[in-house]
Every structure is written in C-alpha cells, then in structure tokens.
Amino acid sequence: MATLEIDIRLGLPDFTLEVAHSFALKGITALFGPSGCGKSTLLRVIAGFERGASGRVALGGEVWQDRRRFVLPHRRGVGYVFQDTRLFAHLDVAGNLRYAERRAPLGGIARSDVIEALDLGPLLRRRPVRLSGGERQRVAIGRTLLSHPRLLLMDEPLAALDGHRKHDLMPYIARLPGAFGVPILYVTHSIDEVTRLADDIVALSEGRLLAAGEVAATLERLDLPPVSGRFEAGSLIQARVKGVDRKFMLTLLDVAGQEMVMPGMAVPEGADLRLRVRARDVSLARRRPEEISIRNILAGRVAEIASEPTTAFAEVLVDIGGGQHLRARLTRASVSDLDLAPGAEVFVLVKSVAFDRRALPREADPGQAGAPHGARQGD
C-alpha cells in the first residue's frame, strides 16, 4: 500500500496552508473542512498545479517535490476529477475517453469496464455541452480512470449537483477503489458525503490539520472541536438488519446486541449498515424511561465527558458495547443533575437516525441497500 507523504507550506490570501501528514492510501480518504479552509488547494499542491508551494511531496518513496526537484503534473500519474469536470468541449464523450486512453501506460484499466461501471455507453456520441451535470461528472471520472492513475484526486465532484443527482452518483464513486484498485483522496465540505463514502478522514481548518484517522473514531473524538461543526457533530455506528415489521413498516436493526428500529423496509435482511447519529439527537436517562414515544433506547456506560465551560453545553461519549460509541450533546446542567461521570450506567435515547446507504463491508454492492436516503426515525 503506497503512502503519500506531504510536508508543505503555501501562502494564501487569508492564511498559510501548512500541512504535514502521511496519507495511508487505502479506499477513500476524505479531505474535509469548511469552504475556503485550503483543502482544494492542498489537492492542487499534490497534483503539482501550485508551483508556489514549498516543502516535500512524495508517493511511495518517489519524490515529486522537494528543495531540488519538482516533477511536472503530467509525470505524476495522478488523476484529477475537477468540480467543474473540465471535459474537452471540442471532443465528444468518446473522444474525451480516448484522449486519456492514448496517453495511459500499457496494461491500464479496460475501456469497456469503465464504460460499464459508469454507464457511459449511451453517452459516447454526445458532446459535453449536451450532458447533464451528473452525466458530465461520470464522464470526467471515467476519463480520469482511463489514464490509469496511481492515485485519484477528487475535488468536490458532487458539489455542483442537486440532491437527487448527488445520491445517484455516490454509489458509483463508492465502488471505484474496489473495482479499479485506485485509492482516492476526496475533497468535500459535506459530512454526509464523508460518512457515506470515506474510510478515513483528514480534517482541515484554516490551512492546518485538525484531525486525521478512521472516520467513525475521528468523528466521535471529544478532545477536538467537532470537525463537522456543532450542528452535524455525531457518531457513526454499525448495524445489521434483523428483519422488518411489515405492519408498521419498520426495519429492525441489531446494534451491538441491542435493538434499534428505523422507518422504511427497503433494506434486505442481513445487510450491514453504517448509521450516523447526531449528538444533538441523543438524550440520556439514568433509568429506562417508560411510556415514551422514542423507540430507540440503548443501555450504555459513560466513557468520557467534555464540558464546554464557555457555553451551556457538554458532550458525553457513551459506550454501548461491541466497541461502539454514541455521542450526546447535553446541557452542563443536565450532566450535573444526572450526576454523570465516566463509568456511570445510562440509557441512551436516540431521537433520529440517519443511515449511510453504503453497506459494510465494502465488497457488498452499495446499490443493494437502496432504502430512501436519510430516513429519520421519528419519535
């Protein structure tokens, strides 16, 4: 597994981009942060588009940039999917694909595989101006794959698309690392895309590295300002579909040996899911509540508490067994009233669940778990 080593500095109008990190390139790594935090610029530095950056960039021991060397972009073998696609307007779709194919090293990715994987067949004779936003992005991804990149850089490929097309395109992207053996660095400011697509996350803020690691572990860390912002902060948990309740149209889930339910029945039995639970949708109780509308009540034990002295709030991390955690956002007054401390036994009340359509493990076809996106469990 190749490692991408970066230790770079680049002055930007509002701050200095300064990042030193080793990316263990496996699957999809999200470069995450708010707009204007320097994540796209970092991607451009890796591709070799920012000559002004100083420092070192190396992939698997092959140095692309240091004090003495600067390998030009076309020699790096890095594929780049741009937010604005940058299809060549003077060529049709087939011509765009051929452009990449002709310049790719031998033994590359097969054209027919790419056309099939991205459903490009019906588009081949069309000009880029005659394509929809989603179609353009699929062609751009296909074109990049055909250049047989060692590393695929994607710069907010879904940002220009509306909600429906976003979700249509996500399964295609999720499949890429497995189907074509290409690791992906994926720039996004959407926590939704991170939880649906990424294995690892590297979070940036104002040009600095905020946190890096496996997605679920990084999102539930309490010692960091929430990388996703207060509103979306939460945790990821894994669940297996136990069955469906046809009468009430619910899906029954097994989470660390405990039962949860969510609305809808489109997920096949036995499928593994990744659920995202926002901290503000989680409440805690010292005793199991009765006669309450909330259906998702899990037993757990407080693992960690982080108070925010300057606000009314505290974040509590609860161990629900099986190595899984839920993050709850409470007032500090509640923490005090309930006498919460690490080790305390609590019941976790989950008001709403958003689930990640992508099935786990990765080999499973993401298209199978085709329940409506973002189904939320009402209370």
Partner 1 sequence: MIAALDLAPIWLTLRLAATSTLLLMLLGTPLAWWLAHTPSRMKSLVEAVTALPLVLPPTVLGFYLLILLSPDSTIGGAWVSLTGDNLTFSFSGLVIATMIYSLPFAVQPLQAAFEAVGRAPLEAAASLRAPPRDAFLTVASPLALRGYLTALVLSFAHAIGEFGVVLMVGGNIPGRTKVISIAIYEHVETLEYTQAHALSALLLVFSFVVLALVYTINRRFPVAAG
Under the rule (CB under 8 A), what is the footprint of partner 1? 47-49, 72-75, 77-80, 82, 84-90, 99-100, 103-104, 143-144, 147
Non-local CB neighbours of 100 within 8 Å, separated by 6+ positions? 143, 144, 145, 146, 147
Alpha-carbon distance of 274 to 116, in angstroms, equals 27
CB of 101 to partner 1, least distance (A): 9
Q: Pick the closer one to partner 1 by CB: 76 or 166.
A: 76
CB of 122 to partner 1, least distance (A): 22
Give all strands of the β-sheet with 313-319 in edge-to-edge order: 282-285, 345-350, 296-307, 313-319, 325-331
Q: Pick the closer one to partner 1 by CB: 103 or 301.
A: 103
The 10 Å Cβ neighbour count of residue 365 is 12
**Which residues are 282's β-sheet partners?**
350
CB of 117 to partner 1, least distance (A): 18
CB of 132 to partner 1, least distance (A): 16
**Residue among 96, 101, 81 at smallest CA distance from 147:** 101
CB of 87 to partner 1, least distance (A): 6
CB of 243 to partner 1, least distance (A): 47
Q: Pick the closer one to partner 1 by CB: 18 or 50.
A: 50
Burial classification of residue 48, based on how many CB atoms lie within 10 Å of its CB (0-12 exposed, 13-18 middle, 19 or more buried): buried
Alpha-carbon distance of 227 to 217, in angstroms, equals 12
Q: Pick the closer one to partner 1 by CB: 75 or 247.
A: 75
Q: Pick the closer one to partner 1 by CB: 123 or 194.
A: 123
Q: Pick the closer one to partner 1 by CB: 44 or 376.
A: 44
Q: Which two tokens stand for residue 259?
A: 């039962």
Q: Pick the closer one to partner 1 by CB: 88 or 248.
A: 88
CB of 44 to partner 1, least distance (A): 8
